[in-house]
């Protein structure tokens, strides 16, 4: 990794990314509550945001402003990309929550097990 | 009328016939007139090709080319000519017979029956004229599926079960093995055409050629080489006209016809002899002949006995082809014709007995010969042909097969033929003996009211049945005295192959 | 005008979508979506024509040159996918009016068309763009609108199906972004062509590259429902409105496959892909998927669910073709993209007709339906024959090509397995045929054939499944060009 000096020093940011990712992923898989699943999904996505943003950092770099005293810039492109990704994430969460609301209207619960139980009954 | 048009008409006429039958289904008399008319028109059309083919022409036409090398194409070569003549000719007689049978037994769904029959005949002719393996495969499958409703005709649990076995075995083997073999052939040679002398020479080597042959033989499940013969007895739940024309002629003959075509035109006799990879086929077909005959001996149900006899007779054709001499190939081709005439007669007789007397078991037939003299005489003629005694067609074809076996000193094949002849006599002669020389047993009462009603007071079957059955019996004898056309076609086939 | 064709393709449906919301009228919304999808179809035909004649078209968004700006890059592969998607879109809009009015509450119909147009935008965008991150955005546009469309299904299980799909789909998309992030880290570019150019200069053995490929593959496999990541698909297809199912089955997974091909062959390139050895993994998964899903399909009573499992199996065929890593196999996969889109939409459209008249697609309630709805079931049987791979239908062409590829790659057992799995298709299609044609009707008289406005699009597709089984210049011919192009790397 030495040849890619624009990466931030050390690898601790990756450890954070991986930790967040696994936490989020675990919540999505293990929780039966539909809202908690969405929370997990958000954490999972956040980890990706961190991954992108941290890779844009250049050691000693500043915000990309043209002018006196600003010579080394951090790469702004990942930030911009992540802005888009955040918007997408919000849309997904909103839609997910809307679905949860509708599911609650129909089933009267947002617990996966209860929904499954209701379906088994009607079958 | 050009020959190319005649080829297409051979499929179009029955297809159009099927549509017309569907449209006129409400009025049985018109519907059956349409069937008969279609059958006659088809036969005349096929007959118009005979002259040119005897003169050595091989009219061909390519319908569609999907991918280079993959096409739907037709070519009338002598063997296909013979097969199409048999199928279309017997369709006329069978239609006459069907009318008597279906009405006599008050069967349901008669319109569907006639439609599917016409489609099956169209498929048979397509198969007979196919110029490459792909075309053959397509019509092979159409034939399988169009006969499903015929087999399951009764619609009760037993019929559906039998029909599923029928469909299951035929489709599994054809898709799993036959198509695989075709794809293999194509990837090895880049073509699927039927070519004199075969296309596989030098392309697939020794043991692999044996494997490929095995895939073809077992892929063509319709040839009923053991152990893929189970569908044929299962198909006996069908009404008798179906068993007669389809499961004694069209369907099973499509099987052995395909086998002969594959051996002669895809592998090439010389290639197979050179690679020495067809020896197993003599054993397998020999085993099938003997084993099926043994099983037939023990069947009391007449149609099942006939079915096992068919299995054994089909393997005669395979055996004849597997002997790999030109003269036995002639025998194979002749046996396709001879067995067709004989076996359809036998099935007609079985159906005739069922219609008139409602009897299905061999053990019920004591003394029936005096009540139904025409039927049982015809049955006797058919049986003689199966055994291979003169003056019937079966003698001619068996003669050629034996000649082939002698010339190649294939004593295994010879032994099989001799033994099976004895077995054939063993399961047919007692029926004839019982029918004419045994006294009828006392009636078993209380079994089925329907049966009792007819018991003892039945006479000969309805007129259409009698006409049909005497015609096929006559054909069986005529082919013994005038084998010229069949012989000429058969010799043309191997003449071209050398 | 013609210079702007690539962007028009995406812009037209994108711009039309708000109109549907604003006008709030279901018939007007339907009309808008019909016109728009027909326009898209016309544009995609022109594009394919131009690409075949002139070669690759590059379109720079806002005139920012690649690799900095977003590039729309149309080559034969894109144009081919665009044509499939927009053609299906047009057919589905033509078909959908009655079916949608019946299956979706009156007040929500205009919203359905909005979502439909957005979904079309997303799918076309994914196929057209040459920028890997832009692709993600379009992917999410199409996915979000898909979730919404599925949730409009009548059955309340549509909601849970949509939710399940949302979770799995978002996971998949996020995996894609992670993989892309790793690639960006290595190369500093997001343009597909540029990515490839930079990647080939790198050492193959770098672990980050492998991780990136793994993330991308898993993420896309989720979207395209490669076994065993297909769990969202059966429910989604079963409970979505019929029109949506037909549209999704024919397009959504297909576009995901396309993206996968781009990743494998255009970004990484066949050499690197081969070296990493992912092909064998995909081959095994594809074969297992073919068998498992087909077997499960046999035991389904709900026909939509049966076809959904069949879709999983068919995706197995596509990916199997890809995994051979030769031109024949890839062209088999590509042609099956089109062919499967045709045959599966035929089947699902037919089921839509059945649903419209009978209100159910449960096999046990459809006895004798072949007699009451002969045209509908006739089309279904044609589609079913294609699924089996019967000669003279499109299914045969793809299967033949696939088997040839297996022989070419010296994988004879695989060729045999392909045929065996077709037998499973025979079984599940035959079950339907038997019930529809040979069983006495279980329902009362009064049911009749579907309306003409549904039958015409249905039979267009049924006709296409036969036409492209006979004349393969347009399908297989183009697929072969596209396959050569992908194998040869990005030209």
Instruction: Identify the domain containing residue C355 by its residue range.
Output: 277-491
Please give the full DSSP string across B271-320, using - where no structure is assigned: HHHHHT--HHHHHHHHHHHHHHHHHHHT--BHHHHHHHHHHHHHHHHHHH
Mind listing the pLDDT tens digit for each residue in B416-461?
888 999 998 988 888 888 888 887 765 554 444 444 444 456 777 7
pLDDT band with cut points at 50, 70 and 90 for residue C115: very high
Q: Is the dihedral of CA C358, C364, C368, C373 positive or negative?
A: positive
pLDDT over 90 at C167, yes or no: yes
Q: Is the dihedral of CA C283, C287, C290, C292 positive or negative?
A: negative
User: What is the overall mean pLDDT for chain C?
Assistant: 88
Interface contact B399, partner C, CB < 8 A: no
Residue A30, domain CATH: 1.10.287.3510
Let me know: does C262 contact C334? Beta carbons within 8 Å.
no
Lowest mean pLDDT among A13-22, B232-241, C440-449, C466-475: C440-449
Confidence at residue B446, expressed as pLDDT on a 0 to 100 scale: 43
Q: What whole-number percentage of chain C has pLDDT above 90?
A: 43
Kindly state whether residue C371 falls inside one of the protein's structural domains: yes
Lowest mean pLDDT among B187-196, B449-458, C115-124, C264-273: B449-458
Is B481 exposed, middle or buried, given 0-12, 13-18 or 19+ CB atoms closer than 10 A? Answer: exposed
Kindly state whether residue A3 falls inside one of the protein's structural domains: no
In this prediction the pTM is 0.88
Mind listing the pLDDT tens digit for each residue in C198-222?
888 887 667 888 888 899 999 999 9
> Is the peptide bond between C228 and the residue preceding it cis, with omega within 30 degrees of 0?
yes
Mark yes or no for CB contact A84/C137 under 8 Å.
yes
As given in the structure block, the two tokens for residue B432 are 């004839």
Lowest mean pLDDT among B396-400, B454-458, C82-86, C421-425: B454-458
User: What is the overall mean pLDDT for chain B?
Assistant: 84
Distance CA C165, CA C170 (A): 8
Mark yes or no for CB contact A92/C140 under 8 Å.
yes
Kindly state whether residue C189 falls inside one of the protein's structural domains: no
Kindly state whether residue A64 falls inside one of the protein's structural domains: no
Mind listing the pLDDT tens digit for each residue in B318-355?
888 888 888 888 888 888 888 888 888 998 888 888 88
Distance CA C465, CA C460 (A): 9
pLDDT band with cut points at 50, 70 and 90 for residue C475: confident
Interface contact C45, partner A, CB < 8 A: no
Alpha-carbon distance C488 to nearest alpha carbon in chain B (angstroms): 23
Alpha-carbon distance A68 to nearest alpha carbon in chain C (angstroms): 26
Mind listing the pLDDT tens digit for each residue in C315-353?
999 999 999 888 888 999 999 999 999 999 999 999 999
pLDDT over 90 at A120, yes or no: no
Mark yes or no for CB contact C151/A99 under 8 Å.
yes
> Once rounded to an integer, what is the mean pLDDT over residues C130-147?
92
Instruction: Please tell me which of the candidates C397, C407, C438 has its beta carbon nearest to residue B184.
Output: C407
- Provide the domain count of chain A: 1
**Which of B260, B444, B67, B340 is CA-nearest to residue C403?**
B67
Which residue's entry shows tokens 């769904």? B109
Lowest mean pLDDT among B185-189, B377-381, B456-460: B456-460
Mark yes or no for CB contact A99/C140 under 8 Å.
no
Q: What whole-number percentage of chain C has pLDDT above 70?
A: 98
User: Which residues 388-417 of C are in CB contact (within 8 Å) with B?
Assistant: 390-392, 396-397, 400-401, 403-404, 407-408, 412, 415-416
Kindly state whether residue C66 falls inside one of the protein's structural domains: no
Chain C partners of B179 at a C-beta cutoff of 8 Å?
Answer: 419
pLDDT over 90 at C173, yes or no: yes
Q: Which ipTM value was assigned to this complex?
A: 0.89
Confidence at residue A42, expressed as pLDDT on a 0 to 100 scale: 94
**Number of CB atoms found within 10 A of residue C156's CB:** 19
Confidence at residue B450, expressed as pLDDT on a 0 to 100 scale: 46
Kindly state whether residue C171 falls inside one of the protein's structural domains: no
Confidence at residue B31, expressed as pLDDT on a 0 to 100 scale: 86
User: Which residues 126-155 of B are in CB contact (within 8 Å) with C?
Assistant: 134, 137-138, 141, 149, 152, 155
Kindly state whether residue A115 falls inside one of the protein's structural domains: yes
pLDDT over 80 at C85, yes or no: yes
pLDDT over 80 at B1, yes or no: no
Whole-number Cα distances in Å, C318 to C223, C290, C294: 14, 10, 14
Whole-number Cα distances in Å, B418 to B47, C68, C124: 36, 87, 73
Q: What whole-number percentage of chain B has pLDDT above 90?
A: 4
Kindly state whether residue C257 falls inside one of the protein's structural domains: no
**Which of B14, B19, B16 is CA-nearest to residue B46?**
B14
Q: C69: nearest CA in chain A? A: A77
**Number of CB atoms found within 10 A of residue B444's CB:** 11
pLDDT over 80 at A1, yes or no: no
Confidence at residue C345, expressed as pLDDT on a 0 to 100 scale: 92
Distance CA C401, CA C397 (A): 6
The structural domains of chain B, with segments of one domain joined by +, span 3-497
Q: B175: nearest CA in chain C? A: C419
Instruction: Identify the domain containing residue A17 by its residue range.
Output: 12-59+76-122
Chain C partners of B66 at a C-beta cutoff of 8 Å?
Answer: 396-397, 469-472
pLDDT over 60 at C124, yes or no: yes
As given in the structure block, the two tokens for residue C308 are 């959904």
> Once rounded to an integer, what is the mean pLDDT over residues B275-295?
87
Mind listing the pLDDT tens digit for each residue in B294-319?
998 888 888 888 889 989 988 988 88
Confidence at residue C150, expressed as pLDDT on a 0 to 100 scale: 92
Interface contact A28, partner C, CB < 8 A: yes
Task: Output the CA torsion C158→C164→C169→C171 (10° steps).
Answer: 170
pLDDT band with cut points at 50, 70 and 90 for residue C490: very low
Confidence at residue C486, expressed as pLDDT on a 0 to 100 scale: 84
Task: Return the higher-pLDDT residue of B379 and B492.
Answer: B379
pLDDT over 90 at B233, yes or no: no
Chain B partners of C415 at a C-beta cutoff of 8 Å?
Answer: 180, 183-184
Distance of CA B344 to the CA centre of its chain: 9
Mark yes or no for CB contact C397/B171 under 8 Å.
no
As given in the structure block, the two tokens for residue B281 are 């086929």
**Which of B290, B342, B160 is CA-nearest to residue B237?**
B160
């Amino acid at each position: 990794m030495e040849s890619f000096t624009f990466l931030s020093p050390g690898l601790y940011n990756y450890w954070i990314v991986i930790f967040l990712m696994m936490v989020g992923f675990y919540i999505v898989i293990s929780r039966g509550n539909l809202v908690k699943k969405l929370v997990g999904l958000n954490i999972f996505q956040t980890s990706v945001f961190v991954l992108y943003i941290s890779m844009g950092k250049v050691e000693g770099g500043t915000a990309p402003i043209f002018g006196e005293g600003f010579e080394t810039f951090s790469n702004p492109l990942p930030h911009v990309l992540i802005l888009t990704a955040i918007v997408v994430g919000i849309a997904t969460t909103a839609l997910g929550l809307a679905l949860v609301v509708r599911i609650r209207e129909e089933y009267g619960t947002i617990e996966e097990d209860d929904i499954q139980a209701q379906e088994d009954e009607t079958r | 009328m050009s020959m190319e048009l005649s080829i297409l008409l051979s499929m179009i006429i029955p297809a159009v016939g099927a549509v017309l039958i569907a449209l006129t289904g409400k009025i049985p008399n018109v519907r059956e007139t349409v069937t008969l008319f279609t059958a006659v028109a088809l036969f005349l059309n096929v007959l118009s090709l005979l002259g040119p083919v005897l003169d050595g022409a091989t009219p061909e036409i390519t319908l569609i080319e999907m991918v280079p090398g993959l096409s739907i194409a037709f070519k009338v070569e002598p063997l296909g000519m013979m097969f199409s003549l048999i199928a279309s000719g017997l369709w006329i007689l069978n239609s006459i017979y069907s009318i008597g049978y279906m009405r006599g037994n008050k069967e349901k769904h008669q319109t569907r029956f006639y439609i599917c029959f016409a489609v099956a005949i169209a498929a048979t002719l397509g198969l007979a004229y196919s110029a490459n393996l792909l075309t053959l495969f397509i019509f092979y499958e159409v034939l399988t599926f169009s006969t499903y409703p015929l087999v399951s005709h009764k619609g009760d649990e037993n019929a559906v079960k039998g029909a599923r076995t029928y469909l299951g075995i035929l489709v599994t083997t054809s898709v799993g093995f036959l198509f695989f073999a075709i794809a293999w052939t194509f990837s090895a040679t880049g073509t699927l055409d039927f070519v004199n002398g075969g296309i596989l020479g030098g392309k697939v080597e020794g043991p692999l050629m044996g494997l490929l042959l095995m895939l073809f033989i077992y892929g063509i499940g319709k040839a009923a080489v053991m152990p893929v013969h189970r569908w044929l007895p299962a198909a006996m739940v069908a009404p008798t006209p179906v068993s007669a024309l389809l499961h004694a002629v069209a369907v099973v003959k499509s099987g052995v016809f395909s086998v002969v075509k594959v051996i002669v035109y895809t592998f090439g006799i010389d290639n197979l002899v050179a690679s020495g990879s067809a020896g197993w086929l003599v054993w397998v077909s020999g085993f099938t002949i003997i084993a099926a005959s043994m099983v037939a001996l023990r069947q009391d149900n007449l149609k099942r006995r006939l079915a096992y006899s068919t299995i054994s007779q089909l393997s005669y054709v395979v055996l004849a082809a597997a002997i790999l001499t030109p003269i036995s190939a002639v025998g194979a081709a002749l046996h396709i014709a001879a067995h067709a005439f004989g076996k359809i007669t036998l099935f007609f007789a079985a159906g005739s007995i069922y219609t008139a007397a409602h009897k299905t078991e061999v053990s019920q037939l004591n003394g029936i010969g005096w009540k139904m003299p025409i039927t049982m005489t015809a049955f006797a003629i058919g049986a003689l042909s199966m055994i291979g005694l003169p003056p019937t067609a079966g003698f001619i074809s068996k003669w050629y097969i034996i000649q082939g076996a002698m010339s190649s000193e294939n004593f295994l094949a010879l032994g099989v033929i001799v033994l099976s002849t004895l077995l054939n006599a063993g399961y047919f002669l007692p029926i004839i003996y019982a029918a004419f020389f045994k006294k009828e047993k006392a009636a078993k009462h209380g079994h089925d009211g329907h049966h009792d009603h007819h018991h003892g007071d039945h006479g000969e079957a309805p007129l259409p049945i009698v006409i049909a059955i005497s015609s096929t019996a006559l054909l069986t004898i005529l082919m013994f005295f005038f084998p010229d056309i069949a012989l000429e076609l058969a010799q043309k086939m191997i003449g071209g192959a050398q | 005008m013609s210079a702007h064709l690539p962007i028009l393709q995406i812009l037209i449906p994108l711009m039309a979508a708000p109109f549907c919301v604003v006008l709030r009228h279901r018939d007007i919304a339907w009309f808008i979506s019909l016109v728009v999808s027909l326009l898209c179809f016309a544009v995609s035909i022109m594009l394919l024509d131009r690409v075949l004649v002139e070669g690759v078209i590059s379109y720079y968004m806002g005139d920012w040159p690649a690799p900095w700006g977003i590039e729309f890059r149309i080559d034969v592969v894109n144009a081919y996918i665009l044509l499939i998607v927009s053609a299906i879109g047009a057919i589905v809009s033509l078909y959908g009016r009655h079916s949608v009015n019946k299956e979706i509450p009156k007040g929500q119909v205009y919203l359905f068309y909005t979502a439909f147009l957005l979904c079309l935008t997303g799918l076309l965008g994914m196929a057209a763009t040459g920028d890997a991150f832009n692709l993600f955005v379009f992917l999410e546009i199409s996915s979000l609108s898909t979730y919404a469309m599925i949730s409009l299904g009548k059955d309340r299980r549509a909601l849970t199906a949509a939710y399940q799909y949302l979770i799995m789909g978002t996971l998949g998309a996020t995996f894609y972004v992670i993989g892309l992030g790793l690639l960006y880290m290595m190369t500093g570019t997001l343009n597909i062509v540029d990515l490839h150019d930079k990647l080939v200069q790198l050492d193959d053995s770098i672990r980050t590259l492998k991780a990136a490929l793994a993330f991308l593959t898993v993420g896309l496999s989720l979207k395209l429902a490669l076994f065993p990541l297909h769990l969202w698909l059966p429910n989604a297809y079963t409970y979505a409105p019929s029109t949506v199912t037909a549209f999704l089955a024919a397009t959504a997974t297909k576009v995901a496959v396309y993206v996968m091909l781009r990743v494998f062959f255009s970004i990484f390139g066949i050499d690197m892909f081969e070296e990493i050895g992912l092909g064998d993994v995909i081959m095994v998964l594809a074969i297992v998927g073919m068998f498992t899903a087909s077997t499960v399909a046999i035991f389904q009573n709900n026909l939509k669910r049966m076809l959904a499992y069949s879709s999983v199996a068919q995706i197995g065929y596509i990916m199997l073709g890809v995994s051979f890593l030769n031109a024949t196999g890839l062209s088999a996969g590509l042609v099956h993209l089109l062919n499967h889109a045709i045959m599966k939409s035929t089947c699902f459209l037919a089921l839509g007709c059945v649903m419209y008249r009978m209100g159910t697609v449960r096999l046990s309630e459809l006895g004798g339906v072949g007699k009451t709805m002969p045209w509908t079931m006739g089309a279904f049987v044609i589609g079913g024959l294609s699924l089996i791979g019967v000669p003279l239908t499109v299914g045969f062409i793809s299967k033949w090509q696939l088997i040839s590829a297996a022989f070419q790659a010296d994988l004879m057992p695989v060729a045999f397995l392909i045929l065996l799995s077709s037998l499973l298709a025979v079984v599940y299609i035959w079950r339907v045929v038997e019930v529809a044609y040979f069983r006495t009707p279980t329902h009362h008289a009064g049911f009749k054939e579907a309306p003409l406005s549904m039958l015409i699009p249905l039979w267009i597709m049924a006709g296409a499944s036969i036409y492209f089984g006979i004349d393969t210049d347009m399908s297989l011919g183009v697929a072969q060009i596209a396959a050569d192009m992908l194998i040869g790397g990005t030209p």
